[in-house]
Amino acid sequence: MRVPFLITAVIVSAGVLLSLVLPDYHLRLLNLSVVSAIALIGLNFAFGYAGLISLGHAAFVGMGAYGLAILTTRMGWSPWRAMLVATTATAAFAGLIGLPLLRLKGHYLALATLGLNVSFYIVAANWIDLTGGTNGISRIPELTIAGRAIAGERPFLWFGLAVLAAITIVAFMIHTSRYGRAMIAVRDDETAAAMSGIDVTMTKIAAFVLSAVCAAIAGCLFACHVRFVAPEDFSYAHSITYLAMLIVGGESTIVGAILGAAVLTFLPEWLRFLGSAYLAFFGLMMLAILVFLPSGIAGLGRYLPRLRSPTRAAPASVSAKELGP
Amino acid sequence: MSILQARAITKQFGGLLALSAVELTIAAGEFVAVIGPNGAGKSTLLNILTGLLMPDGGQVLFDGKDITRLATHKRVRSGLGRTFQHGRTFARLTVLENVMIGAAIRGDRTERAIRDAALAVLDQMGLAAEANESIGSLSYGRRRMVELCRALACEPRVLLLDEPAAGLNSGEVDQLVDRLTELRARQQLTIVLIEHNMGMVMRLAERIAVLNFGRKIADGPPAQVQADPAVLSAYLGHGYNRASV
């Protein structure tokens, strides 16, 4: 357990350090990175561990965000209570939809989840009474701690980092538990997993629900921070971006999820000089990563153990290299 | 007292009758080999016993209970273990983690207890030194041993082995025979073995059932089955009896 805490500490302190030196606009991007990272830790359970290709992750982020927005603006609930209910409702929905959806595999599952995302967009854009249609919902209240609003980029970043740290630690605990191993086993070989006493269907649903919970929390944070939600924020294009982030960062690693979120949030900013050629660059970059660095940025970490002392390097197992930390 | 029983199992794949009213009764503590030429229906029978396939007709009884429609993982949890014909391990987990998947079958175990139970099985089967290796770094024979360890970690009462010696060299086969003999001596384990390696079958089996074209054509002690004319003709062709006897 020491390594996960160390990694979490490094990420949080890097975030806090950046929060003290960066200008406000970059802090905004950093906040969006943190929100994406929380959503991605979720997607990593479904896609990275259990191998469930989901092109509908943005729909779950949207459900959390819209749930909070509706409960706070229409019902006057406190954001905390709304967050709890919106996240629980999203998890329940993921469980229910997962039951029929997860019978599908590979491309079929990808298409079905894509359909889910498109449906979500259509509902959010057209159920005007509830969602405000394409105008969205504005004036979402800020989160408050002890009566003080978490307002402005810097305080929100600190709060977001705390949430990210908590979720990272929980994710590591699940990763190294029987449930994490079961998810990985299900992706590697479903038949052998069943023959080892694993309930394959339940394991897939658990991974899917877990991914939806993280997505909903990310959505709630997004809603409270931006204080405005619209269908466009949760279109299927965002789901594809989430998958791209996971691949760039390093599929099936928690650290990769966080790195991917940060890099792909800042990349358009760094490459602003490319103008509309950015998309072409992005496509080529994805191609290059898939070909030359299939385990993503986190995959570079496997070169690190060589620098450690021999006693530490010796027991470096494949799980340490390819999955953890 | 029979612990595992196949009653009139029938299975059809399109126009092919893979199993036709096959009866197999395994007594507790017994070591039974199921043999037969390729395509005789041995693996199909194992898939039906473990719930990976549903039979078109017949019943599977475990401990006297009808488990014909029970999900695979529930059969495993009630004490039915199995290894696969080509060896199936989890490539992204280490040797120890593979076996821990099996050891986690008991829901009340803590993470430490799961690890200890898995290490005990690895130790018993002579794989303790490779516990932290990646699956990919092991030879095919060692990988199949890991699979066997994983099945044993599920603490089965009946262990079904699907051609465990296939692809192993003769030294590895000898080692496997020794391990299985030890296992039987140490714990009251019922074993059903599907195998083409007749040397191994004759060294281990107390009883042999023979399948041919989806039918059971013989069932009895090794010596009796070896001399059965129906078995000889199934393996060696019809002309064999007249020519040699």
Segments making up each domain of chain B, as ranges: 2-79+156-244, 87-155
Residues 56-95, chain B, touching A (beta carbon < 8 A): 71-73, 76-77, 81-82, 84, 88-94
Q: Is residue A301 part of a domain?
A: no
Q: Is residue A293 part of a domain?
A: no
Which chain B residues have a beta carbon less than 8 Å from that of A181? 93, 97, 100-101, 104
Q: What is the CA B22 to chain-centroid distance, rounded?
A: 17
Residue whose tokens read 């099936």:
A252
Count of C-beta atoms within a 10 Å radius of residue A166 = 13
**Residue with more model confidence, A135 or B242:** A135
Whole-angstrom CA distances from A77 to B6, B215, B230 are: 61, 69, 80
Q: Is residue A192 part of a domain?
A: yes
> What average pLDDT does the segment A277-300 reach?
88
Q: Is residue A128 part of a domain?
A: yes
Q: How confident is the model at residue A305 (pLDDT cuts 50, 70, 90)?
A: low
SS3 category, B93: coil
Among A28-37, A238-247, B6-15, B236-245, name the one with the lowest average pLDDT: B236-245
If you classify domain B2-79+156-244 with CATH, what class do you get? Answer: alpha beta
pLDDT of res. B238: 62
> What average pLDDT does the segment A119-139 reach?
94
pLDDT of res. B153: 95
Q: What is the CATH number of the domain that holds A248?
A: 1.10.3470
In chain A, what percentage of residues exceed pLDDT 90?
A: 65
pLDDT surpasses 50 at A201: yes
Which chain A residues have a beta carbon less than 8 Å from that of B147? 192
Closest residue in A to B85 (Cα) is A192
Instruction: Verify whether the Cβ–Cβ distance A318 to B72 is below 8 Å.
Output: no
pLDDT of res. A152: 85
Among A22-31, A119-128, B153-162, name the one with the lowest average pLDDT: A22-31
pLDDT surpasses 60 at A309: no
Domains of chain A: total: 1
Q: Where are the beta strands (DSSP E) in A78-183?
A: 137-138, 144-145, 148-149
In chain A, what percentage of residues exceed pLDDT 70?
A: 92
Q: Is residue A19 part of a domain?
A: yes
pLDDT surpasses 90 at A31: yes
B15 has a chain A CB within 8 A of its CB: no
pLDDT surpasses 60 at A315: no
> Pairing relation of β-strands A228-229 and A148-149?
unpaired
pLDDT of res. A317: 41
The secondary structure of chain B in percent helix, strand, coil, rounded to multiples of 5, reads 40, 25, 35
pLDDT of res. A153: 86
pLDDT surpasses 50 at A311: no
Instruction: Verify whether the Cβ–Cβ distance B100 to A176 is below 8 Å.
Output: no
Q: Report the distance separating Cα B172 and Cα B178, nearest Å.
A: 10
pLDDT of res. B240: 53
Q: DSSP assignment, residue A152?
A: S
| Tens of each residue's pLDDT in chain B, 245 residues | 799 999 999 999 988 999 999 999 999 999 999 999 888 899 999 999 999 999 999 999 999 999 999 999 999 999 999 999 888 999 999 999 999 999 999 888 999 999 999 999 999 998 999 999 999 899 998 999 999 999 999 999 999 999 999 888 888 899 999 999 988 888 889 999 999 888 899 999 999 999 999 999 999 999 899 888 888 888 777 655 544 43
pLDDT surpasses 60 at A325: no
Beta partners for residue A305, in sequence order? none
Q: Is residue A185 part of a domain?
A: yes
Residues 100-139, chain B, touching A (beta carbon < 8 A): 100-102, 104-105, 111, 114, 132-137
Instruction: Verify whether the Cβ–Cβ distance B105 to A181 is below 8 Å.
Output: no
ipTM (interface pTM): 0.90
Nearest to B62 by CA among B2, B1, B4, B22: B4
**Segments forming the whole domain that contains residue A94:** 2-265
* pTM of the model as a whole: 0.88
Nearest to B211 by CA among B49, B9, B40: B40
